[in-house]
Structure formats: structure tokens, C-alpha cells
Amino acid sequence: MPITFDWSKTIAELPGSPVPADWLAANGDGVKVAYIDRGVNLGLASLEHVNQPGAKFFTGAPGFSVAKLTGQDLVGEAFGTEGRGHGTLYASLLVGKIPAVPPADKDLVNGLANGAKYFIIKARNANDKKTTAKNILDAIELAGNLKADIVILGQSISKAQLPFEGLNMAAVDRVFNLPSVQRMFIFAPLKNLEPSDPWANIASDNIPNLRTEVFNVARLPVNFESVSSVITPQNISFMLAGFSGKLLTKNGDAADMEFSNSGAVAIMGGVAVLALSHFKKQNGGATPTRQQFAQLLGACCSPLQNASGSQTDPAFFRNF
């Protein structure tokens, strides 16, 4: 039987109410968001409203140009065993919206911050087989040119790949030093690891991980202490989320799914959209400094040192 899953309601009912009600009420209004992943199925009923000209891009499309904002695409996703509907799952969490006339035979998702303006950027190569470092950098630069306020990035790429693409760290620095990129708040996952991984490589050299311009996000691991000793000494913005719930699957069904680092990014990025929306409403449309924004997000997150021990309830932690 079809169901409707409401992420706003779920977040609102978290133990201790960590996300303020007035943030939730702001719904992301007045905020521009670039969601970068490996594709989104915009044909799903909850996502059809995003399927608009000027709101969807593919870094591997013929004629793609960061500067000219060309290379628009359906941003479809094949849903093979490799992709598993990754981009669609988290896009649904963020921007899902129940149609005015809901179809009776489809599962529907109400997103966490669906009042924002979203740009969907598919960061893949031309044959849609892999995501390259250049795809990621192009997507981030494009987001800046689109004047996005927040970037929610569902992928990270090993820096070891740079030489094979004829790139170096100067190419990475060029993008992150652009004024249009500097003004954005970027949320990205630390290396995605399997549940059985001991998390020893959580601070691996990936792009855009460990950059001070990025809010680095990870899911709450079973063995938190092994992560804390690595993360705490680093001069990075780090956020940690623990959550279990239902997401829209590749087939449009609602099912339990392992909560990944990318899922943590979607949750924390969505909360950030809500926070920024509320801040803008309270400050005549002004944008906070990075320090102000970190303090604002810190209002809904416990300090990192509180994350140790068994966490049975949904939880947010940070280390600024």
C-alpha cells in the first residue's frame, strides 16, 4: 500500500527538539541550494516540480559550460546496481513535495526544506559511468555561478585521481578561491565507508574533504572513539549525524535504508537550509558570516565529545 513519508514531521519530532520550530516553519524559503550527486530521477511524483528549465545540469552533457550555464539535462538516473538510486533518495529527503492532487498509487515524500530554490547538478562524466574530480570541481564552480547559497554534495573523490586527469591541487584551490564559491556554505561527506569498516580512513585524502571551507559531515559510527581521536585535532568544521528512518527507494517504494555519510550530509544540509532561511527572514535577507552560521548550526547540535556511547535516538553532533 502506498505511503507518505514526511521528513519535516520526522525532524520536528526528534527527541529534545534539536531543530527549532521557527527554522522548520521557514521551510527554506529565500535560499538557493545546489544539490550535487550522480543524478536524480525527476520523474517521481514527489520530484516532478523540480523538473524545470534552468534547474537541472549534467557536467558530462554535450556543450556543458560552467561559465555559460549550459549543458542542461533531464538528470535522469539509471537505477542500476551501481547507482542504487543514491541521488534520488537524498533529493527526496530535501526537496520532495506532495503534489496538489496526490496520485493514489504512488509513495510520496515531503522533503525537509522544500521551500528553497533547488538546482540539481549531475556530476558524472559523458558516458555516465563515473564521477571524476573535474566533474566535482565543475559542479561546485557551476553552483557558484548559479549564485547558490548552500551546496549539498553527496560524493567525494580521492585526491590520488588528480594526476590521472591532468589536474593538481592548484586546480582545486582555484575553484575554492573563487569569490562565488567562497560565499557559499558547502556540505560534503567524509569518505563513505561500509558499516563493517573500522573507520580508520575517515580522514582520507578526498576532494573536497578536510578543506576549511567545507562543513565535513559523517554518519555516527558504531565505534565513535576511533573517529573522535582522528577528527577532534583537525582544524575543520565537522558534523556528525545518527539517524534511522525511511527514504524513497529507486522503485518509488518506501523502505529502510542503511544511513550513510551521504544521508548525514542530506540531513545536515537540509537543516542548514532551514537555518539560513530563518536567518535571512530575521535579518532582511542578509547572509551570515561563516562563523555566525557555524554558531547558528551549533544551536541544534551537541558538542562532539557528547557523541561517545550508545546512541539509540537520532542525534546531531558538531566540532567547530
Residue 81 has pLDDT above 60, yes or no: no
Residue reference for cell 519535516: 8
pLDDT at res. 30: 97
Strand pairing report for 254-256 and 246-248: antiparallel
Share of the chain above pLDDT 70, in %: 84
List, for residues 82-97, the tens digit of each pLDDT value.
434 678 888 888 999 9
So where are the chain's domains?
4-319
Instruction: Please name the residues in contact with 88: beta carbons below 8 A apart, sequence gap of 6 or more.
Output: 39, 40, 41, 44, 47, 77, 79, 248, 250
pLDDT at res. 83: 39
Residue 75 has pLDDT above 60, yes or no: no
pLDDT at res. 185: 98
Mean pLDDT of 145-165: 94
pLDDT at res. 181: 97
User: Which is more confidently placed, 35 or 73?
Assistant: 35
pLDDT at res. 79: 36
User: Which is more confidently placed, 228 or 3?
Assistant: 228
List, for residues 12-59, the tens digit of each pLDDT value.
888 888 999 999 999 999 999 999 998 888 888 888 899 888 898 999
pLDDT at res. 74: 46
Residue 196 has pLDDT above 60, yes or no: no
What is the chain written as a DSSP string? Answer: ---EEEHHHHHHTSTT--S-HHHHHHTTTT-EEEEEES---TTSTTTGGG--TTSEEETTSTT-BTTTTB-B--------TTTTTHHHHHHHHHH----SS--TTS-EEE-TTTTSEEEEEE---TTSS---HHHHHHHHHHHHHTT-SEEEE---EEGGGGGGGT--HHHHHHHHTSHHHHTSEEEEEPPP--TTS-STTTT-SEESTT-TTEEEEEEPPSSTHHHHHHHTTSSSEEEEEE---EEE-TTS-EEE----HHHHHHHHHHHHHHHHHHHHHHTTTPPPPHHHHHHHHHTTSEEGGGG-S---S-EEEEE-
- For CA atoms 196, 197, 202, 207, give the dihedral sign: negative
Separation between Cα atoms, residue 263 and residue 219, nearest integer Å:
8
- What is the average pLDDT score of the chain? 84
pLDDT at res. 199: 61
Q: Is the omega angle on the peptide bond into residue 99 within 30 degrees of 0, that is, cis?
A: no
Q: Which amino acid is at 33?
A: V
pLDDT at res. 14: 84
Best CATH choice for the domain 4-319 from the list 3.40.50.2000, 3.40.50.200, 3.40.50.150, 3.30.420.40: 3.40.50.200
Mean pLDDT of 66-89: 55
pTM: 0.91
List, for residues 109-140, the tens digit of each pLDDT value.
889 999 999 999 999 888 888 899 999 999 99
Residue reference for cell 547558490: 148
How many angstroms from the chain centroid is the CA of residue 113?
A: 12
Separation between Cα atoms, residue 251 and residue 139, nearest integer Å:
27
Single out the residue of 180, 305, 166 nearest to residue 233, CA to CA. Answer: 305
pLDDT band (50, 70, 90) for residue 309? low
- For CA atoms 190, 193, 196, 199, give the dihedral sign: negative
pLDDT at res. 78: 42
pLDDT at res. 274: 98
